[in-house]
Amino acid sequence: MFDEYFILGCSAIGAGLAVIAGIGPGVGQGIAAGHAAAAVGRNPGAKGDVTGTMLLGQAVAETTGLYGLLVAMLLMFVKPLVPAE
Amino acid sequence: MIGANMLLAAEDLAEEAAEGSQDLGFMIKGVFSFELNGVTLWITTSHICIAIVFLFLVIFSFFARAAIKKGSEVPSGFQNIVELIVEKLDGLVGGTMGWSARIFRNYIGTIFIFILFSNISGLFGLRPPTADYGVTFPLGVVSFSLITICKFRYQKVSGVIKGLCEPWPFWLPINLIGDFAVPVSLSLRLFANVLSGTVMMALVYGLLHAIAYAWPGVLHAYFDMFSGAIQTYVFCMLTMTYISDACGDEPAKLPKKSVA
């Protein structure tokens, strides 16, 4: 009943659901960038430091989204759920 | 009749799409294989690309050495570039690590240049070596080893146990998991970022190859140059932060020789 194509289709749906993880980092990076812009506005002399700190924090926040992307890629291209023939 | 034709056309399209997804070309490919003690080992595109990056860096370092050896007081030409690179890396490491910078300057500089050139190599038609988890995981493990060695060396065993029992003793398993998650998260972050850029470029060239002229250059600038440079910076920055955390305050007697 559950043939290869059924599993492939479910994998595709799962991959689509997995990249929903991208919402969180998007919001987080936006907040970080907004606060960094405010900080530069208050103290334009510290622009270099603020930019460096912002990019570092954003890259760390991005990790959870990348985990979702990784799961999606595994489901789409490595196909771990499809039984090997 | 029309229905049957449409069905045939749809089948053709599906076949074409399937073929297209087969040679999208971002997967690691085996180039040739050999037998060793009855185990088949493959030389893959990752090995070849890492060898090219390595060769380029070795040749570059020979030229840099020659430029510094017969360098003049007022630098000119190639000597300028070499001095700029060394100065910037020294500034980066010195500004982040404090007193331990003098021990780890060489190591951080080396991995910085290696990861940067690996990430950028996508521009030159190579498959970035860092888009292979077999390359980034060892980098993470090396960082983890350095962190652990520094912890035991500068905080002593009692300090390590005390650090694991912060803020309460029953927090120990969580702190242990947190410690062992460091290499995995470090390497996965770099790997997933570079891989996502590689996959994106492969999708553009594979699926839009009819109209992929000139404008993918913008995407290359983002995925290969910007993202690659940022991830290099992040990897080195986090490694430096963890190591200088592990080193703690400046000891009264500084070590004579550098360990890395």
Domain residue limits, chain B: 87-247
Would the CB atoms of B196 and A66 count as touching at under 8 Å?
A: yes
Shortest CA distance to B205 belongs to which of B44, B46, B23? B23
Cα angle B35, B37, B40 (rounded to 5 degrees) comes to: 35
Would the CB atoms of B189 and A63 count as touching at under 8 Å?
A: yes
Query: Which of A11, A51, A56, A66 is the mutation pick for testing B, counting most B CBs within 10 A?
Result: A66
Residue B33 phi/psi, 5-degree rounding, is -125, 155
Confidence of residue B23 (pLDDT cuts 50, 70, 90): low
C-alpha B223/C-alpha B229 separation (Å) is 10
| CATH of region A17-76, choose from 2.60.40.10, 1.20.20.10, 3.90.1860.10, 1.20.1050.10 | 1.20.20.10
Shortest CA distance to B202 belongs to which of A15, A84, A80, A76? A76
Taking contacts as CB-CB distances below 8 angstroms, the residues of chain B near A63 are 185, 188-189, 192
C-alpha B111/C-alpha B9 separation (Å) is 52
Say if A78 is an interface residue toward chain B (CB within 8 Å).
no
CA distance B180 to chain A (A): 16
In three-state secondary structure terms, B31 is strand
Say if B200 is an interface residue toward chain A (CB within 8 Å).
no
C-alpha B28/C-alpha B23 separation (Å) is 12
pLDDT on residue B14:
46
Q: Which two tokens stand for residue B52?
A: 């090219």
Say if A74 is an interface residue toward chain B (CB within 8 Å).
no
Residue B74 phi/psi, 5-degree rounding, is -95, 110
End-to-end alpha carbon distance in chain B: 75
C-alpha B195/C-alpha B27 separation (Å) is 10
Cα angle B214, B216, B217 (rounded to 5 degrees) comes to: 70
Average pLDDT over residues B73-77: 80
Average pLDDT over residues B28-36: 83
Would the CB atoms of B189 and A55 count as touching at under 8 Å?
A: no
Residues of chain A with pLDDT > 70, as a percent, come to 98
Q: What is the DSSP letter of B230?
A: H
Average pLDDT over residues B73-101: 87
Say if A60 is an interface residue toward chain B (CB within 8 Å).
yes
Nearest CA in chain B to A57: B234
In three-state secondary structure terms, A43 is coil
Smallest Cβ distance to A73: which of B199, B231, B237?
B199
Return the number of other C-beta atoms located less than 10 Å from residue B85's C-beta.
Answer: 15
pLDDT on residue B3:
45
- Write down the mean pLDDT value for chain A: 89
pLDDT digits (tens, 9 = 90+) for B147-175: 999 999 888 888 888 888 888 888 898 98
The yes/no answer to whether this complex scores an ipTM above 0.85 is: no
pLDDT on residue A1:
65
pLDDT on residue B90:
92
Task: Give yes or no for residue B53 having a pLDDT over 70.
Answer: yes
Return the top range by mean pLDDT from A23-27, A74-78, B26-30.
A23-27
Confidence of residue B20 (pLDDT cuts 50, 70, 90): very low
Domain ranges of chain A: 17-76
Taking contacts as CB-CB distances below 8 angstroms, the residues of chain A near B27 are 77
pLDDT on residue B258:
55
Q: Which two tokens stand for residue B84?
A: 């700029």
Average pLDDT over residues B69-94: 87
Task: Give yes or no for residue A35 having a pLDDT over 70.
Answer: yes
Q: What is the pTM of this model?
A: 0.82
Task: Give yes or no for residue B257 having a pLDDT over 80.
Answer: no
CA distance B63 to chain A (A): 31
Shortest CA distance to B57 belongs to which of B138, B112, B5, B104? B112
pLDDT on residue A32:
95
C-alpha A24/C-alpha B248 separation (Å) is 33
Shortest CA distance to B81 belongs to which of B92, B93, B66? B66
C-alpha B106/C-alpha B25 separation (Å) is 36
Confidence of residue B2 (pLDDT cuts 50, 70, 90): very low
Would the CB atoms of A60 and B237 count as touching at under 8 Å?
A: no
Taking contacts as CB-CB distances below 8 angstroms, the residues of chain A near B188 are 63, 66-67, 70
